[in-house]
Amino acid sequence: MESVEITYCSFCNKSQHEVVKVIAGPEVYICDECVELCNEILSEEKAEDDKKSKKRKFHDIARAEPPRPSWLYDRLSDYVIGQEEAKRDVAVAVHRHFLRSRVRGAHGYDKNNLLLIGPTGSGKTLLAKALAAALDLPLAIVDATTYTEAGYVGEDVEGMFKDLLKVAGGNREAAESGIIYIDEIDKLARKSVNPSITRDVSGEGVQQALLNILSGTDVTYDPKSNRKHPSSDRTAVNTEGILFIGGGSFEGLTRIVADRLVRTRLKTPQQVAAEPGRILTEAGQEDLIAFGLMPEFAARFTTISAFEPLSADHLRSILHSTPQSPIRQYQALLSEHRCDLTVTDGAVEELVQRALREQAGARGLHRVLDRTMRDVLFLLPDRKDIHSCLVDEDVVRGARPATLLDKKGRPVAVKRDRVFISYSRKDRAWLTELTTMLGPLIRNNALNVWYDQEIKPSRLWRDEINQALASTSVAVMLVSPEFLNSTFITAEELPYFLKAAKTENVKILWVLVENCLYEETPIAAYQAAHDIRTPLAALPRARRQEAWLRICQRIKQAAES
């Protein structure tokens, strides 16, 4: 009986009886299943390559129908809360910009650029981003403070076109119809009204370099560098169709405008004092010149739009209604750890009031919420049993940590492994010695050291102490003459700290680093971490190392008990 030769696939080693078909090649075989698998791999790689090579389609504003100002206003309102007049100004200016691009040169329309002025966090940059998204145009956001006049250290202004072309995916036509938002443009202002013998290469020099660019001209730049090189290949771009938007807080401009209004008797001092937030809406070219902009540079911005400080109602709307709501952002962040976030109405109100005190607009909301959620985000990656997080007004105030719950809604215990160290800024060397000796415990995750370098005599320092103590097991004070001579420490921080530590059941130890009259303070009532008859400063280096070692052991024992 003749033996039948069995063919095997050279890739998966399956026999011809285990598959539908085996295809033979020169000294190699492949089955139908491996062929199908190879086709799937090639299809996936082709789809990925197509996705990478696919260029985003942008509007051609020379052929596109100009957007109606009312439509554009509605699109901007989806993102920017308040600032009604500013959104109308921008909507009309953009409509005019589109019209000019369609009839360029036919009627001699002047180029239109926008200048957005107002306090930080009021929505200037966000409006530029919303504008680009609504119009489907490439947007490059650049920082005016990085530029210098050609030939000096720093970036040349022509480098902004490299950024715009990158956003446009290399599409030059799209870039020439795009938007460039120049942030911090107020920092280009002349610093003094007095003439200077030195050249202002990062202020007036940059203003001078931007004049022709803002007016509309052919500009060449190096696509590989932000600096000019004589031997480099240059790329040309025409700025006629580019919409330039300048933005800045213009600190001090409000006073300049108010003085002019009173001086020219357009408003009385009482009227000016009654509406401080609306003074900037009266700003004009002469005010910008008085602020420090060159007359010809200020004239390049034909539309000046003022942003008002955000009110409490505006901040509430930002938290509740906008796509970029800080609360929604944190809900998305926590969802990555399979944790739901709930923020109560009381917490929202507390966030708003604290953001108002920060005087940073929407950025103040982010700052306060970041501070509130810091410890939660620190903990979540290490805990798989946390499924929901509740933040109320007490959590925002720093009175207690956020409530963390498991899948069944039961509170999750939070490990208290933090060592809180209080010290005087002048005793930083002693702090370094202590944290160095605690290093092995920190690296082994036995302790998590937090020292109060963030605490400053501001409105929010109590919140920082509360948040730190919420996960603290032991608090250590480095006592010295500098520590006791600090008015803020002895009169404000120390009494509040001791009271808050008692409320949180935090053990308190103290270390006498130098001789001082500690007996006259509440510190004497607490346990010392070493023999206070000999301050650390009086010990030789070898004995001081031994003393630090005993102190660290005492801290570890207190944290574990």
pLDDT tens per residue across span 54-102: 455 555 555 667 888 999 999 898 888 888 888 898 888 888 877 776 6
pLDDT in tens, 396-431: 887 677 888 888 888 876 666 678 888 888 888 898
User: Using CA atoms, how far apart are residues 216 and 206, in angstroms rounded to an integer?
Assistant: 16
Task: Kindly report whether the global pTM for this prediction surpasses the value 0.85.
Answer: no
Please enumerate in sequence order all residues whose Cβ is within 8 A of that of 354, keeping only pairs 6 or more positions apart, or say none. 364, 368, 396, 460
User: Using CA atoms, how far apart are residues 254 and 308, in angstroms rounded to an integer?
Assistant: 11
Known binder of ligand: residue 31?
Answer: yes
Residue type, 332: A
User: Using CA atoms, how far apart are residues 516 and 486, in angstroms rounded to an integer?
Assistant: 13
For residue 412, what pLDDT is reported?
79
Containing H/E element for 22? Answer: strand 22-25
pLDDT in tens, 134-190: 888 888 888 888 887 654 555 778 888 888 888 888 888 888 888 889 988 988 887
pLDDT band at 192 (very low <50, low <70, confident <90, very high): low
pLDDT band at 1 (very low <50, low <70, confident <90, very high): very low
Known binder of ligand: residue 34?
Answer: yes
